[in-house]
Amino acid sequence: MKKTVSAIALVLTAFSTSAQLNKADDIKKSLATSNKDTVAWTYGGFVTIGMNEGFLHNWAAGGELASFNVNGIFSGHLDHLAHRDIWSNNLDISYGLNYTYSTSFLPHKTDDRIDFTSKYGVRIDTAKNWYFSGLLNFKSQITEGYDYTVTDWQKHPPTSKFFSPAYFTTAIGVEYRKGSDISLFISPVAGRLTLASKYFTSLSPQGAFGIDYNKTSKYELGAYVSGRYLTKLSKNIRYKTRLDLYSNYLAKDSKDSLGNVVKKDNPGNIAVLFDNLFDFKLSKYMNVAVGATFIYDNNFPYNRNDSKGVVKNDPGKELGWLQIKQLFTFGIEYKF
């Protein structure tokens, strides 16, 4: 009899534990698309690693004798809900390297990005999906970057490195959000701080990254709008997009070390970041990711010539000041 009672108790305990887990899963799924008065942690995202290689020998059509490319993408969010309060965190990291025989397998960086956003908001009682929020955003890159259009680029100084430049944006405003899938943050008061080593800003009279000559920082105060949207276009296709707009109230003409105007600016020159990523699920662990990022920032004028005054061999030179990054990754994906 005691064994029977013990067995029943064990079954009931196991059933109770399973029910609690299922309930937690249900809460997580519901919070992904709606806001509820509850206390819970929610998270999600994916990691993708893609690689490709090629080898040619006596190939009549010609081509790169040997090549190897590897790139990775991490995109995740972690949110904490406590009744009227919500703390949300988004982290996007991407990195890619290309190795070819013709360049003695010296790595060429094809992608490098760190982008972290943390927001804390308190829900407005009279508007279910609106919050008074504060925001912190950080952007930088992981390793040194070079201008590969320059001959013997490895003998030239890098164009960037970790924390040079680094961008910090802090803002206070209101946010409309629907779970972790839809977010629109609007701030009339947003500060943006750009940091860089004096090494980069002293290379030319114009300075670098919008920072004046021989300085290490630049502060801006303006208006900031940031929208994010994540949706499933079909069972196996997911689309993630983001649009950031920033207007600097303090914008003014930039001068070189001699006092000459080298760049005109005003608050109407709105900085734009438009990010897009399509994720195609082929199987449980295989996927294809296609992405495109567009940036316009008056702090980054386009120079058709390299440091020696020679016109760059750049197929996209007609696009001018617009910054474009496009990626295609076929590889292994893990979702969490």
What CATH number is associated with residue 291?
2.40.230
Same domain for 219 and 296: yes
| Domain encompassing residue 25 | 1-31
Give dist(CA 330, CA 199) in Å, integer. 38
Domains contained in the chain, number? 2
- Cα 287 to Cα 53, 98, 328: the distances in Å are 18, 20, 11
Same domain for 4 and 93: no
Q: Is the pLDDT of residue 224 over 90?
A: yes
Q: Which range, of 12-16, 39-43, 186-190, 213-217, averages the lowest pLDDT?
A: 12-16
Does residue 269 or residue 150 have the better pLDDT? 269
Same domain for 117 and 26: no
Same domain for 74 and 14: no
Same domain for 152 and 24: no
Return the residue matching tokens 């701030």.
187
Same domain for 153 and 6: no
Give dist(CA 312, CA 43) in Å, integer. 44
Does residue 317 or residue 328 have the better pLDDT? 328
Q: Which range, of 42-46, 117-121, 150-154, averages the lowest pLDDT?
A: 150-154
Same domain for 1 and 148: no
119-130 confidence digits (pLDDT tens): 999 999 777 789
76 with 44: CB under 8 angstroms?
yes
Does residue 329 or residue 241 have the better pLDDT? 241
Same domain for 121 and 26: no
Same domain for 76 and 21: no
**Residue 119 is encoded by which pair of tokens?**
């927001």
Question: Could you tell me where the DSSP H helices lie in the chain?
Answer: 2-31, 198-201
Does residue 34 or residue 295 have the better pLDDT? 295
Query: One-letter amino acid identity for 190?
Result: A
The one-character DSSP state at 102 is G
Give dist(CA 321, CA 115) in Å, integer. 22
Q: Is the pLDDT of residue 27 over 60?
A: no
pLDDT of residue 20: 36
- 273, containing H or E segment: strand 271-281
Return the residue matching tokens 């965190």.
89
Same domain for 111 and 239: yes
- 222, containing H or E segment: strand 217-234
Give dist(CA 209, CA 48) in Å, integer. 30
- Cα 317 to Cα 149, 159, 270, 300: the distances in Å are 12, 18, 22, 14
Give dist(CA 201, CA 31) in Å, integer. 46
Mean of the pLDDT values across residues 96-109? 92
Q: Is the pLDDT of residue 175 over 70?
A: yes
Same domain for 11 and 58: no
Three-class DSSP category at 155 = helix
pLDDT of residue 39: 81
Does residue 43 or residue 20 have the better pLDDT? 43
pLDDT of residue 313: 65
Same domain for 96 and 141: yes
Mean of the pLDDT values across residues 93-117? 94
Dihedral, CA of residue 162, residue 276, residue 75 and residue 122, to nearest 10: 100
